[in-house]
Amino acid sequence: MHALQRAFIEHDGLQCGYCTPGQICSAIAMAEELRRGDPSYVTLDLAAGPPVVTRAEIRERMSGNLCRCGAHNGIVEAIEDMLVETAA
Ligand code: FES
């Protein structure tokens, strides 16, 4: 199981599971964007180097994925965990 899949389970990042495949695919792509240093709409300082991973960055980059169940907090926490685990 991928680190993100484990983190989704640990943080209750899903309820019905309908949006989960899209959330996971988008989060993996988002992690690659962050590794490349791509800025987002909420990146505060474009001259400061790679964007700092904040909840605002994660929420903005995942904003195209809606969860009707309201599991967004768990989803953001799961993505944070995955980013920390894969950075180590
Ligand atoms: S887990 Fe139900 S829509 Fe996302």
Which residues' Cβ are closer than 6 Å to ligand 1? 14-20, 67-69, 71
> Measured from the CA of 15, which atom of ligand 1 is nearest?
1
Closest approach atom of ligand 1 to CA 19:
4
Å from CA of 46 to ligand 1 middle: 33
User: In the chain, what are the domain boundaries?
Assistant: 3-87
> What pLDDT, in 10s, does the model give residues 19-57?
999 999 999 999 999 999 999 999 988 898 888 899 999
Distance CA 85, CA 88 (A): 5
User: What's the confidence (pLDDT) of residue 87?
Assistant: 75
**pLDDT score, position 88:** 67
Q: Which of 79, 67, 71, 70 is nearest to 24 (CA)?
A: 79
Of the options 1.10.150.120, 3.40.920.10, 1.10.10.10, 3.40.1230.10, the CATH number for the domain spanning 3-87: 1.10.150.120
Measure the CA angle with vertex 45, ends 64 and 43; round to 5°: 10
